[in-house]
Chains A and B, each alone.
Chain A
């Protein structure tokens, strides 16, 4: 099984900050990585797929990069609506998710 590890688990930031979340895979997953945003009591929302492709309708301040075992999600200028939990997911071998990163004020 492929293990996904996100860091940090919690991130404190302010509106306008540049924020970076890291996701590491226990083995190479090429670019088969997605990022999701989840708000309390809501379902996850797809932001990025294939490591760097922006899902339709997602603001361009969200950027994904990486390949192999190390990936990052960057929010270029944090907006009030971005305070949420972010999950990475590998889909190279079945599917598995990271433990989540909570972005809070």
Chain B
């Protein structure tokens, strides 16, 4: 059974940093492109970042580019999201998602974790 378990969320002041983790099990982690998707309270979903299976290719949404860094450790079956210079608008539940099929320039997602909540507030 595919399982994705996020951790690392919490409350942080504006300008602060957090590192999220996503522990994967039940599939060959290194074979899959993985992403982070977030959802602000009461809002829709927003793609944040995508990392290739090897970790060598990384893609970011405009709202986080230059502040967030995605990475992975395939020996630990874990995906990470380093978030720096956090802003109030980064407040959201952050989901780790496994990609399903590849489109022309992106992916859809067939498995999601339950998410970890990040709150940025003074």
Contact = CB atoms under 8 A, between A and B. Distances in A.
Contacts of A87: 44-45
A50 B104 contact: no
A93 interface: yes
Contacts, number: 74
What are the 9 closest A-B residue pairs judged by CB atoms, nearest first?
Answer: A91-B106, A32-B103, A91-B103, A43-B112, A95-B47, A34-B108, A97-B45, A95-B106, A99-B44
A94 B115 CA distance: 21
Contacts of B95: 43-44
Interface of B: 35, 37, 43-47, 50, 59, 61-62, 95, 100-110, 112-115
Interface of B is mostly: strand
11 contacts: A30-B104, A34-B108, A42-B114, A43-B114, A44-B95, A46-B100, A46-B108, A50-B101, A50-B103, A91-B104, A92-B106
A82 interface: no
A90 interface: yes
Interface residues of A, number: 27
Nearest to A34: B108
Contact of B110 (A46, A97, A100): A46
